[in-house]
Structures are given as C-alpha cells and as structure tokens.
Amino acid sequence: MNEIDYISIGKRIKYYRVQKGLSQEEFASRISVSRTYLGYLETGIRGLSLQLLVNITNELRVPIGVLLEDSLEEASDQYNTQILKALINCTPQETDILTKSIHELKKILKGYTIK
C-alpha cells in the first residue's frame, strides 16, 4: 500500500490555483480554510480530509484523480502525468506559451503520416 503523497497533492493544488489566477487568500476563503492552512496544504506539511479534497477539486474544477495521481498505484494516463510534471513549476505565462506550442506542434504533426 502506497503512502499518500501530500507534497505532490499540494503542488498540484497550487498549480491549478495559480492557473485560475486566485491568490492564496481568495482560494482559502472559497474552500473555507485559513490562508495559513492552505499554505500548509500546498507545501505538503499538512494532510487534508476527504471532504476538503472534494471541496478543492470542485472549486478548481479538476478531476480528483489529477490531484491524487502520484498517490495512486496506477496512473490512468502516464502522458498526462509527464506533461503535468513538466508544467507544475511553470508560471501561468510559461504554461500558456507551452500550451500554445503544443497545439501548434500538433497541427504540424497532422501533416505527417504518423500512426
């Protein structure tokens, strides 16, 4: 049985919060915790209840499995995991540039007969 990777969960919470343009203060208010406690969650210092995890995923509008991915024995999609790990420490601007680049590369690849 694997341990729950609270550090990874926290990084993912922070990543999606920042992508939504929410400050710690604003997001903490939305999920009914203090800004300090949210900081503890985002750094993995503290764990979280199932109810709080549900509240967070609902507020961020991400599937719960995305936040838990590194704690699950089988990741549902290894490519999503690799992409997210590459983006996790990016600024919103860097993420935007990389996302646009991926879309452009996909358009280029459609011109080839890759199967």
Model confidence over 63-72: pLDDT tens digits? 898 898 877 7
For residues 5-20, average pLDDT: 93
For residues 44-49, average pLDDT: 94
- Contact 70/8 with Cβ under 8 angstroms? yes
Helix axes 78-87, 92-110, angle to 10 degrees: 140
Cβ atoms within 10 Å of 51's Cβ, excluding its own: 8
For residues 17-32, average pLDDT: 96
pLDDT at site 102: 84
Distance linking the first and last C-alpha atoms of the chain: 37
CATH architecture, domain defined by 6-110: Orthogonal Bundle (1.10)
